[in-house]
Structure 1
Amino acid sequence: MPDPEKRPETTPEKRFAEEWRNAAYNCFSSGHKFCREVCPVTQVTRNESWSPTAFHANVVAMEQGELEIADVAADYVNCTGCGACELRCPNSLFTGDFYRFRTRTVDLVKAVRGLAVRQGVHQPAWQRWNLLTDERGHEPVLNGTPVDQARVRDWAAGLDLPIGGETILFVDCEAAFHRTSVPRAVARILNLAGYKFGLMHEQWCCGGPAAEMGYEEQARRFARHNLDDWRAGGVRRVLVLDPHDYVTFTEDYPAYFGDAYDIEIVLVVELLAELIREGRLTPHVPVERTVTYHDPCRLNKRKGVWREPREILRAIPGLTFHDVDRVTQWSYCSGAGGGLPVEKPELTARISEQRVGKAAELGVDTLVSACPWSERPLSEAGRARSIDVVDLHELLAESLGVAP
């Protein structure tokens, strides 16, 4: 009988690999690497260590005792969480083939980042970002924008919005503190349509960025706070304008709270398209621009939302709309997701430059987005090509005559 004292040590990496081995081996053993050409990071770096295939291969190596999390944690920074690799993977594409397994690269990357944090392996900018978020209740945002709890509703000054109620509008940190014209446009549009809503008593960050960077415990605490605030205010429905919040509220929160989570989550873009169809909103002010639309990855690739933004654009008089060549699963990424602009802003900039370059090929003067986080790096890239980057909600507000 083997001596228990001589059994191989079960390391955290090996325990982690046992949980993720099916996902890892299904990728590692296929060898197709179809995911590389749709991965925004691989497109601009050609670094195989940062490819979706490598992310899975590392787990196989950890199971075999060849790698520790400290050896590879920094590689997992290089993922925007866009999900393009999952859509392109044959495990997902070919229903009924011998794999019979859907690739879960986005979940795997989050899980590896979480393992790294639990093992005390931190990325410097991510660690500082989350310490500041924990201290302030909100993300620090970028470029030194003032952030604190007392200012979270400053964007709504003069709009006379109630606090609490059955329906509230949740405004992400980037929009609440930096892109304040976006939530103001949304509020004015909803008021024009007679759609009643309020604001939270004490809104904190959704917790999604912390979860994406591996700070799982912090993410759960923030989620618990927000859910408790909603319940205390009698909230049954939460409107969200940011795709990152939408994914957090429809995927992370249900995983945290299970059947106890019965809050309806409504994406503002889908709501606005519905209000236009019902005749409660009628764009009438011509907007003379030649535009294309940037699909936020978390709407298009992750949640399958791509029709409604185009409905809104086609309802605006004066627009000349040129669609991209990949309008559903294969849309381009801005590089602004998954914590990448926090730890590697230079890589986000390269991805955004590539995205704006694709827009320039269409001969447009404006790139329209529906994601506050994508608009910052896209705007910086757009200036070099004389292409404006405009938020979809603001564009609609202009055509409705209620622009801030």
Structure 2
Amino acid sequence: MSNTHEHDEATPPTTVDLGTPQILGEVEQAFVEKWHENATGCFSSGHKFCREVCPVTQVTRNENHTPTAFHANVIALEKGHLTVEDVADDYVHCTQCGGCEVRCPNTLMVGDFYRARTETVKVVRAMRAMLVDKGLDREGWKVWNRLTNELKNEPVLGVEGDQPNGQAQVRDWAEGLDIPIGGDTIMFVDCEAAYYRTSIPRATAQILQLAGYEFGLMNEQWCCGGPAAEMGYVEQSMRFARHNVDDWRKSGVKRIIAIEPHDYVHFTEDYPAYFGDDFDFEVVQIIDLVAELIRDGRLKLTKPIDRVVTYHDPCRLNKRKGIHEAPREILRAIPGLTFKDVDRVTQWSYCSGGGGGLPIEKPEITAEISRRRLEKAAELEVDTLVSACVWSERPLTAAGDEAGIDVKDIIELVAESAGIEIGGRTRP
């Protein structure tokens, strides 16, 4: 794939007749009233520091796909210069990585006035929800969420024909591991890991068992609902969240181990927003937990691994949740591993393109974002790119095959160094 998308570069910015302002409908009016402060704060700032850290903008070079344009569109809607139909496709071009929010100078300030300028992810999600309400959601997302609603999990093995993923197979990855159902602590296994790359939940479970950390699984696990929320299907997301919370309560669960960054964001941000103070569960991210187990001597890594690696920061761990030290602590604890890191600012600029529904609707852009990430890894002369997000590892693996670089999950490396025979499917 070339370094740029000629089609995207050739796409001219949206042009509209400014002579006759459009009259906003009730849905649009509610939207602009809610997000007026965010949009005005960003639009009036005048700076555009966020643009070059946006992984989509880096590829498409299209003004309409920039974080500042997402805010400016709200002002244009409010003034009647644009319609929702004019900008609908613009908001597909976002991975919700949060890089724009990290880069925004307003993060240096305090107070609601400045915070509202940095909530681009919320603006994008709100626009997508409005598109769903108005029937303007994208076709790929419609199919994906329809199947998710039917299966109760995402159709990660494909959207055509009879695919072997559904509730009957949700715990197939755990065969032979003797994991109980319920208990104080359960491990939540996202759809991508449960059906597509089963080596990751198997490795995670066996690591916890080796360390003597007690946990169980859900009685009836549905998709976390996070992808639906990111694509604008809020009602579906809330319905799935309600099912999972009810399942936890019936089983006496008090603590959830999230082994995937997207789930972690959803459990720590969206679930509390849905349920308020009623959401009283402790949510633990697996990378933090594994680092703690190694630190406390409960998990010993003794088998050397002869690899030269660099680490890919999953956006929802580093940019969104500030988890960047723990994975590096883990990698430095693995004997035999040569770890070549990048600087703190560079960490923020990388993305796989695997989030926010982008791979479903714009797979060519995701592929190019991952290709560029592997290109940067190759400059460090490594043989392995390590990630901690199964959703990033699908496009990164495809790009790694072309670049001659192996892509591994950090949990797989930990299991190997701990002497665990993982089993399961490491890749499609």
TM-score scaled by length of structure 2: 0.90
Residues of 2 paired with 1:142 and 1:254: CA distance? Answer: 30
Distance 1:149 1:101 in 2: 40
Classify 1:327/1:394 alpha carbon distance in 2 versus 1 (closer, same or farther; 3 Å).
farther
**From 3, 27, 31, the counterpart of 1:16:** 31
Alignment match, 1:69? 84
Following the alignment from structure 1 to structure 2, what is the Cα–Cα distance between the partners of residues 391 and 11? 47
1:137-286 paired onto structure 2 within 5 Å: 137-143=152-158, 146-286=164-304
Instruction: Flag the 1:328–1:260 CA change in 2: closer, same or farther, 3 A.
Output: farther
Structure 1 contact 295–331 (Cα < 8 Å) conserved: no
Tell me the residue number matched to 1:310: 328
Q: Secondary structure at the match of 1:249?
A: helix
- Cα distance, 1:328–1:309 mapped onto 2, change above 3 Å: farther
8 A Cα contact 2:157 2:165, kept in partner: no
Residue 166 to residue 99, structure 1, CA distance change in 2 (3 Å): closer
Distance 1:351 1:11 in 2: 37
Taking only aligned residues, the RMSD between alpha carbons, in angstroms, comes to 1.6
Partner of 1:399: 417
Contact 1:171 1:242 (C-alpha < 8 Å) held by counterparts: yes
Structure 2 match to 1:47: 62
Q: For residues 136 and 318 of structure 1, what CA distance do their matches in structure 2 show?
A: 43
> CA 1:235–1:357 in structure 2 vs 1: closer, same or farther (change >3 Å)?
same
2:54/2:349 contact within 8 Å kept: no
In the TM superposition, 1:297-336 aligns within 5 A as 297-326=315-344, 330-336=348-354
Contact 1:359 1:367 in 2 (8 A): yes
- CA deviations over 1:269-309 (Å, ceiling 9, x no partner): 10000000100011000000000000000000000000000
Residues in 2 aligned to 1:366 and 1:100: alpha-carbon distance in whole angstroms? 38
Q: Which residue of 1 aligns with 2:385?
A: 367
Aligned CA distance change for structure 1 residues 102 and 25 (closer, same or farther; 3 Å):
closer
Aligned residue among 90, 103, 111 for 2:105: 90
Q: How many Å separate the matches in 1 of 2:252 and 2:41?
A: 45
- Give the whole-Å Cα distance in 1 for the aligned partners of 2:72 and 2:417: 50
Deviations 1:3-26 (A, max 9, x none): xxxxx7653212210110000011
SS at match of 2:95: coil
- What corresponds to 1:28 in structure 2? 43
CA displacement at 1:331 relative to structure 2: 4.0
Q: Read off the aligned partner of 1:110 and give its amino acid letter.
A: R
Once residues 66 and 373 of structure 1 are traced to their aligned partners in structure 2, the CA distance between those partners, rounded to angstroms, is 38
Paired with 1:39 and 1:9, the residues of 2 have a C-alpha distance of 30
Alignment of 1:122 with 2:146, yes or no, is: no
**Is contact 1:76-1:112 (8 Å) kept?**
yes
User: CA separation in 2, counterparts of 1:327 and 1:286?
Assistant: 30
**Residue 65 and residue 358 in structure 1: after superposition, are their counterparts in 2 closer, same or farther (change >3 A)?**
same
1:84-105 Cα offsets, whole Å, 9 max, x none, are 1011112223458995744100
SS at match of 2:276: helix
* Kept in 1: contact 2:24–2:80 (CA 8 A): no
Alignment partner of 1:29: what SS? helix
For 2:317 and 2:59, the matched residues in 1 are separated by 23
Secondary structure (helix, strand or coil) at the match of 2:403 reads coil
Give distance in 2, aligned partners of 1:10 and 1:85: 30
* 1:36-86 superposed Cα distances (whole Å, 9 cap, x missing partner): 010000111111100001100110011112222122111100000000101
Q: Would you say the 8 A contact 2:129–2:234 is kept in 1?
A: yes
**What's the secondary structure of 1:302's corresponding residue?**
coil
CA contact (8 A) 1:78 1:340 kept: yes
* Match in the other structure for 2:373: 355
Q: Is the 8 A contact 1:14 1:65 kept in 2?
A: no
Q: How does 1:286-301 map to 2 (within 5 A)?
A: 286-301=304-319
Work out the CA distance in 1 between the residues paired with 2:112 and 2:127. 28
Contact 1:91 1:101 (8 Å CA) reproduced: no
Aligned residue identity for 2:93: N
Q: Distance in 1 between matches of 2:327 and 2:269?
A: 22
- Percent sequence identity is 67
In the comparison of the two structures, how many residue pairs are matched?
397
Deviations 1:224-277 (A, max 9, x none): 000000000010001011000000000000000000000110111100000001
Unaligned runs of 5+ in 1: 1-7
